Structure 1
């Protein structure tokens, strides 16, 4: 099942490694991780000018989204209950 992350972007729920709150993004180690992903072209900012609320990590890319962790969690749980 696909999980909508914002904009026109969806990922398969099985590809989601982690969903992190944007507050975690303020930690020095997370900032470094995001910088490396950006430098490698693997960071996708779906939040645009909106407030960054969540970071979604997949094996290939990292997505910054304006959706809250709880909204993303509900989307994943809804798909799990449908299976």
Structure 2
């Protein structure tokens, strides 16, 4: 399934490695170094720095999202719930 992460970006949920709060960026030298290296490789998709609330790390890219971690988690969980629903459309047409 897909998750809309803001700024017209839609990613596959299976590619998500981690979603972290943007405020953790300044408190972790490891995250800062990872993002610095990925920026050199042009694998960071950024939003306006003042708008970024979360960082979505996928297999190939790092996205700065204007949506909160909580909102992204709800969207991911909603898609999981929808996947579990059974399809009864054939039964209602009979």
Provide the TM-score with structure 2 as the length reference.
0.82
Q: In the alignment, is the contact (CA less than 8 A) between 2:7 and 2:65 conserved in 1?
A: no
- In structure 1, what is the equivalent of residue 30 of structure 2? 29
Name structure 1 gaps, 5 residues minimum: none
Greater CA radius of gyration, 1 or 2?
Answer: 2
Q: Tell me the TM-score normalized by structure 1.
A: 0.92
SS in 2 for 1:4: strand
Equivalent residue pairs, number: 82
Runs of 4+ in 1 over 2 A off after TM superposition: none
Cα-Cα RMSD: 1.1
**How many angstroms does 1:52 deviate by?**
1.7
Gaps of 5+ in 2: 84-94
> Which stretch has the larger CA shift, 69-78 or 15-24?
15-24
